[in-house]
Amino acid sequence: MSAVHVEVLDRMLSIDAKLWDALVQQTGGSVLSSHAFLSAFEESESVSIETGWQAKHLILRDEMGELIAAMPLYAKSHSYGEFVFDWAWAEAYERHGLKYYPKWLCAIPFTPVPGARMLCAPAHRTLAAQALVQWARQSKLSSLHVLYTSPADQEALCAAGCMPRTHTQFHWSNKGWQHFDDFLGSLTQSKRKKIRAERRKVKDAGITTRVLTGAAIAPSDWAFFYQCYANTYAQRGNPPYLTPTFFSKIGQTLSSHCVLALAYRDDQPLAASLLWLDTVDGQRKLYGRYWGALEHVDCLHFELAYYTPLEWALSNNIAVIEGGAQGAHKLARGFEPVQTQSAHWLAHPGFADAVEKFLEQERAGVCQYLGALKSPFRDEIGD
């Protein structure tokens, strides 16, 4: 550790994009960890001190000054936009007169997608994990939370003193299907019948859908998407996490990674869903992220967030669609349960012991939950 120099960046623009992205390539090349993606949060002011996300990205240099590791790190004044819930921990701190916030968060903002959080070559992963935990310990903040880790990162972080936590998501994997009917044919009869009925309801309502990607997504499409996105939050009485500028920047700098599904009635758009397109270690993936509509149409959410993207995926060599956080209803749409992970370190010994016991019970509950779920596929497919 004495030969490693630790630096803290208050913004992504403080580091050359080529240097950051070279580290991203060493961990599979996900666009979600890229300089452009992380910068868009900051430049759009979706991530800022004012919104409770103070950027403090950690980078490591070797004794020659060469960049060997980078970690997207934020000092958080709340737990919104994380999808891994620690509100009860914060309340327990408060009841005992202790400060839980600010806390350290190593994650991709607002993005519950598993992947590398310590951007480095495998040979430097242990060092990066130790540096991250040591930084948290020296900072005197309450805790460190590294969310949606890769298996390799999780192992290194736990060896460095973090506690493991498990979660459940639902992912769709292409089992060799060429067409949507092939996929339907692999499901149990009840699931197949349900999907056909849901799609028929949307069609009978006079709704058509189409998918736009890359440069085909016009500024007017982005504007309509944001209207739908903001309306979803408004219906829940909350402001949206992301600003219009975030999506316009992504549309300008990362358009090839954008997949926008739109629903129309009489050529008038009424709903939209946005997915990120990624390639990690050569495998093409879609991440279902945002959905919204200007009016309610029965089953339209399922059509636009699942079935239309599934058809597009089957035509475009997509191996996996990750459906985001939670959502057991995805099981009935051909998504299967997957365990995801996070790593946590708490400074207070007493609270760390209590949380560790809680996490042990939670892991047992997750395993029991997964064991109770039934595959949506016919036995020969599920096996």
Contact predicate 283/262, CB 8 Å:
no
Quote the pLDDT of residue 381: 52
Amino acid at 131: A
Question: Do 134 and 28 sit in the same domain of this protein?
Answer: yes
Amino acid at 230: A
The count of C-alpha atoms lying within 13 angstroms of the C-alpha of 313, restricted to the half-sphere facing its C-beta, is 30
Question: Do 9 and 89 sit in the same domain of this protein?
Answer: yes
Question: Do 204 and 148 sit in the same domain of this protein?
Answer: no
Strand 320-325 and strand 283-293: pairing? Answer: parallel
Question: Do 66 and 145 sit in the same domain of this protein?
Answer: yes
d(Cα 85, Cα 326) in Å, to the nearest integer?
12
Question: Do 124 and 209 sit in the same domain of this protein?
Answer: no
Burial of 371 (0-12, 13-18, 19+ CB in 10 A): exposed
Domain count, the chain: 2
Q: How does pLDDT run across 180-234, given as a tens digit for each residue?
A: 999 999 999 999 999 999 999 999 999 999 999 999 999 999 999 999 999 999 9
Residue 383 binned pLDDT confidence (cut-offs 50, 70, 90): very low
| pTM, rounded to two decimals | 0.96
Q: Supply φ then ψ for residue 199, to 5 degrees.
A: -70, -35
Question: Do 307 and 206 sit in the same domain of this protein?
Answer: yes
Q: Say whether pLDDT at 380 is over 70.
A: no
Contact predicate 313/144, CB 8 Å:
no
Quote the pLDDT of residue 346: 98
Answer whether residue 378 is part of any domain.
no
Question: Do 72 and 18 sit in the same domain of this protein?
Answer: yes
Answer whether residue 298 is part of any domain.
yes
Residue carrying the six token digits 């959502």: 327
Residue in 213, 207, 186 with CA at minimum distance from that of residue 375: 186
Answer whether residue 200 is part of any domain.
yes
Q: How does pLDDT run across 23-76, given as a tens digit for each residue?
A: 999 999 999 999 999 999 999 999 999 999 999 999 999 999 999 999 999 999
Q: How does pLDDT run across 306-354, given as a tens digit for each residue?
A: 999 999 999 999 999 999 887 888 999 999 999 999 999 999 999 999 9
Quote the pLDDT of residue 135: 97
Residue in 167, 153, 115 with CA at minimum distance from that of residue 281: 115
Looking at residues 139-163, what average pLDDT do you find?
98
Residue in 33, 23, 106 with CA at minimum distance from that of residue 66: 23
Answer whether residue 107 is part of any domain.
yes
| Tokens read off for 235 | 């219906």
d(Cα 172, Cα 331) in Å, to the nearest integer?
9
Quote the pLDDT of residue 382: 46
Answer whether residue 212 is part of any domain.
yes
Looking at residues 357-367, what average pLDDT do you find?
96
- 219 prior amide bond cis, ω within 30: no
CATH number of the domain that 188 lies in?
A: 3.40.630.30
Q: How does pLDDT run across 241-279, given as a tens digit for each residue?
A: 999 999 999 999 999 999 999 999 999 999 999 999 999
Answer whether residue 31 is part of any domain.
yes
Show the domain range for 155.
5-167+341-372
Looking at residues 133-157, what average pLDDT do you find?
98
